[in-house]
């Protein structure tokens, strides 16, 4: 065949595919007009993504929130996908709690296995079953029994800070605290001591960081090539850097193997997250979907829940490590950073700790009733919420507060913008824990502050997170005071896609005065 014919045919094919791609990616771009919901005007294929990319998700969220200040809801297009932002706090309550059964799932994102089995990604009954299985990890009894692990890691963290204080060196809080939270999560969850705080470059922290840092790739794949989602894994293409997920899979598998061997040798059972997972696994199945209905029913009757597949177990172990390490370190490091800038608040918190604990080591019981500490943490999470945008997918057409939300629509709570809304929080950029006093709280809508989300799909690890943070804060502030220094960079510039400071959170530690 003539070469020019082949080239023309190929070009025509390419143009044809491009037209199909544009039509496919823009097919839903008329939906908000049809629903009479105000929205940004979409660009074919990209929707409003280019604007989001230009401003970054934080400023984009705030700008839209300001633009539609008189609306209950407004829309935008994340490339192909329409997203309905919910501004009205009553509607957020109704979606997260009252009509939860209509909004059980989150937005579908393609990630590599076993991350697709993490609790945060699961749907419907699969989610419910796994949530019920892992919930007991965070009961009061379990948290009490885990407490000595938190105490041990806190001691190492304080020793570290003490050394920095003596040497007069500045500390980058986020990195240091991430090592602490990684140690806590590995020991409380898996009874494994990984000592990130003692090692210069902890593999755990580096690999976990690689997973968070792959966010841009996850966005690209999901936003621009959503139709390929089912194909990637079949053709063996991974989103995450080679070896990253294998590292965590091996960690979990080794921990499970050791635990099984110990159980077989009759050694006493541990009381951690891994043990719960181990007891809910059934070895002769590789995936829940492969079970016969009879088998599943028999197991559900005897145990009250379905067994987890091996991939489910890997997924939960990994989310436990990832969610438990990054979010907690974000909150603890920002809190210390804000206290360093607000010495009066820091002194008041130290007074409360002195009254409650004196020089005693923090225990599970004396972490209750630290009212001013709660206020400081709530205020830090208001300014820097790790979960800055929360979403749910509508599974049946529903009308809420006069707004029709159609089946399949992703609804999103603009947490970051709500937390900085000057009409709810006067002078929003000021760190003012008083906003969370009893009286001030009562005057505000309860859904104006959403650091852990709301409803049955809220953060499962909230109690563990707060316990870890409070223990570390108490132990640090009992003997030291964080202060700003020449390395401190203000104002904080947030990283593009993460609740993390671009220039780091640098402070120094000093001896406490009048102590
Ligand atoms: C201060 C620390 C933390 C913050 C601010 C935080 C925040 C959140 C938020 C906002 C959500 C989404 C809630 C929603 O959609 O309504 C969430 C979900 C989740 N968090 Fe946390 N989290 C923290 C610590 C932890 C810890 C320590 C763990 C586990 C060890 C954890 C495990 C999870 C899991 C598994 C989910 C998904 C729950 C589900 O889909 O059922 N988080 N978290």
How many residues are listed for the chain in this entry?
A: 515
Give 106 Cα–ligand 1 centroid separation in angstroms.
13
Give 133 Cα–ligand 1 centroid separation in angstroms.
16
Question: Which of 462, 445, 435 lies closest to 379 in space, CA to CA?
Answer: 435
Residue 95, pLDDT above cutoff 90? yes
pLDDT at 390: 96
Distance CA 194, CA 36 (A): 55
286 band by pLDDT with thresholds 50, 70 and 90: very low
pLDDT at 259: 81
- Per-residue DSSP letters for 347-402? HHHHHHHHHHHTTSPP-SGGGTT-HHHHHHHHHHHHHS-SS-SEEEE--S-EEETT
Q: Once rounded to an integer, what is the mean pLDDT over residues 378-386? A: 97
| 459 annotated to bind ligand | yes
Residue 168, pLDDT above cutoff 80? yes
Nearest CA to ligand 1 atom 23: 327
Instruction: Give backbone dihedrals phi and psi of 358, rounded to 5 degrees, phi first.
Output: 60, -130
Considering 83-97, 104-118, 253-267, the range whose residues carry the highest mean pLDDT is: 83-97
Could you tell me the strand order of the sheet in which 506-511 lies?
Answer: 171-172, 506-511, 480-483
pLDDT digits (tens, 9 = 90+) for 121-157: 999 999 999 998 888 888 888 888 888 889 999 999 9
Higher pLDDT, 425 or 242: 425
Residue 303, pLDDT above cutoff 50? yes
pLDDT digits (tens, 9 = 90+) for 35-71: 999 999 999 989 999 999 899 899 999 999 999 999 9
Distance CA 372, CA 355 (A): 12
pLDDT at 277: 78
- Is the CB of residue 45 less than 8 Å from the CB of residue 21? yes
- Is the CB of residue 346 less than 8 Å from the CB of residue 477? yes
pLDDT digits (tens, 9 = 90+) for 265-279: 777 777 778 887 777
Nearest CA to ligand 1 atom 32: 461
The secondary structure of residue 485, as a DSSP letter, is -
The secondary structure of residue 483, as a DSSP letter, is E
Give this complex's ipTM: 0.99
369-388: b (≥16 Cβ within 10 Å) or e: ebebbebbbebbbbbbbbbb
Q: Once rounded to an integer, what is the mean pLDDT over residues 280-288? A: 49
Using only C-alpha atoms, the chain has a radius of gyration, in whole angstroms, of 25
Q: Are strands 506-511 and 480-483 parallel, antiparallel or unpaired?
A: antiparallel
pLDDT digits (tens, 9 = 90+) for 334-350: 999 999 999 999 999 99
- Is the CB of residue 162 less than 8 Å from the CB of residue 479? yes
pLDDT at 294: 52
Specify the range with the lowest mean pLDDT, choosing from 178-192, 370-384, 389-403, 404-418.
Answer: 178-192
The secondary structure of residue 199, as a DSSP letter, is S
234 band by pLDDT with thresholds 50, 70 and 90: low
Q: Once rounded to an integer, what is the mean pLDDT over residues 297-307? A: 57
From 461, 462, 499, mutation site for ligand 1 pocket: most ligand atoms within 8 A of C-beta: 461
Angle value at C-alpha 130, between 264 and 203, nearest 5 degrees: 70
pLDDT digits (tens, 9 = 90+) for 208-225: 777 777 766 676 666 666
pLDDT at 1: 64
243 band by pLDDT with thresholds 50, 70 and 90: confident
Q: What would the two tokens of residue 423 be?
A: 């009409």
Distance CA 178, CA 323 (A): 11
pLDDT at 230: 64
Residue 296, pLDDT above cutoff 70? no
Residue 291, pLDDT above cutoff 60? no
Pocket of ligand 1 from Cβ distances under 6 Å: 119-120, 131, 319-320, 323-324, 327-328, 331, 381, 386-387, 390, 451-454, 457-461, 464-465
pLDDT at 198: 77
> What is the separation of C-alpha 54 from the centre of its chain, rounded to a whole number of angstroms?
23
Residue owning tokens 């005007």:
41
pLDDT at 231: 65
pLDDT at 262: 80
Higher pLDDT, 116 or 515: 116
134-144: b (≥16 Cβ within 10 Å) or e: beebbeeebbe
Higher pLDDT, 139 or 31: 31
> What is the separation of C-alpha 195 from the centre of its chain, rounded to a whole number of angstroms?
23
Distance CA 12, CA 448 (A): 54
Give 252 Cα–ligand 1 centroid separation in angstroms.
20
Percent pLDDT > 90 in the chain is: 56
Give 452 Cα–ligand 1 centroid separation in angstroms.
6
Distance CA 183, CA 187 (A): 6
Mean pLDDT of the chain: 87
Q: Once rounded to an integer, what is the mean pLDDT over residues 399-413? A: 97
104 band by pLDDT with thresholds 50, 70 and 90: very high
- Is the CB of residue 151 less than 8 Å from the CB of residue 471? yes
């Amino acid at each position: 065949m003539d070469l020019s014919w082949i080239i023309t045919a190929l070009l025509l094919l390419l143009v044809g595919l491009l037209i199909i791609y544009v039509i496919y990616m823009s097919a839903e771009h008329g939906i908000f007009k049809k629903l009479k919901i105000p929205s940004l005007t979409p660009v074919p294929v990209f929707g409003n993504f280019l604007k989001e990319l230009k401003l970054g998700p934080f400023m984009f969220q705030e700008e839209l929130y300001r633009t539609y200040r008189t609306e209950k809801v407004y829309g935008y297009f994340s490339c192909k996908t329409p997203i309905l932002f919910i501004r009205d706090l009553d509607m957020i309550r109704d979606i997260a709690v009252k009509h939860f059964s209509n909004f059980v799932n989150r937005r579908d994102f393609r990630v590599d296995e076993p991350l697709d089995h993490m609790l945060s990604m699961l749907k419907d009954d699969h989610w419910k079953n796994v949530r019920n299985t892992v919930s007991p990890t965070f009961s009061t009894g379990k948290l009490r029994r885990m407490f000595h692990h938190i105490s041990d890691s806190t001691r190492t963290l304080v020793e570290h800070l003490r050394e920095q204080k003596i040497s007069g060196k500045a500390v980058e809080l986020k990195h240091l605290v991430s090592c602490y939270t990684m140690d806590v999560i590995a020991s409380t969850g898996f009874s494994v001591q990984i000592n990130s705080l003692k090692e210069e470059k902890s593999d755990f922290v580096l690999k976990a960081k690689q997973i968070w840092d792959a966010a841009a790739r996850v966005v690209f794949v999901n936003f621009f090539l959503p139709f390929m989602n089912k194909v990637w894994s079949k053709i063996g293409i991974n989103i995450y850097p080679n070896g990253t997920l294998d590292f965590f899979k091996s960690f979990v598998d080794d921990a499970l193997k050791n635990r099984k061997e110990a159980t077989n040798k009759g050694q006493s059972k541990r009381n951690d997250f891994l043990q719960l997972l181990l007891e809910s696994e059934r070895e002769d199945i590789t995936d829940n979907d492969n079970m016969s209905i009879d088998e599943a029913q028999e197991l559900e009757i005897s145990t009250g829940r379905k067994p987890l597949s091996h991939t489910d177990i890997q997924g939960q172990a990994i989310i436990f490590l990832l969610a438990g390490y990054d979010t907690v370190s974000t909150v603890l490091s920002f809190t210390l950073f804000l206290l360093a800038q607000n010495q009066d608040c820091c002194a008041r918190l130290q007074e409360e700790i002195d009254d409650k604990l004196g020089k005693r080591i923090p225990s599970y019981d004396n972490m209750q009733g630290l009212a001013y500490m709660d206020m400081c943490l709530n205020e830090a999470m208001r300014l820097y919420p790790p979960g800055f945008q929360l979403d749910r997918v509508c599974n049946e057409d529903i009308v809420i507060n006069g707004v029709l939300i159609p089946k399949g629509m992703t609804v999103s709570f603009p947490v970051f913008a709500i937390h900085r809304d000057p009409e709810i929080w006067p002078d929003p950029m000021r760190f003012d824990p008083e906003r969370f006093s009893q009286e001030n709280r009562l005057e505000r809508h309860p859904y104006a502050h959403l650091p852990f989300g709301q409803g049955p799909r809220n953060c499962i690890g909230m109690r563990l997170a707060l316990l870890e943070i409070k223990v570390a804060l108490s132990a640090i502030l009992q003997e030291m005071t964080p202060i700003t220094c020449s390395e401190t960079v203000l104002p904080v510039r947030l990283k593009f896609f993460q609740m993390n400071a671009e220039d780091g959170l640098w402070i120094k530690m000093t001896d406490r005065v009048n102590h």
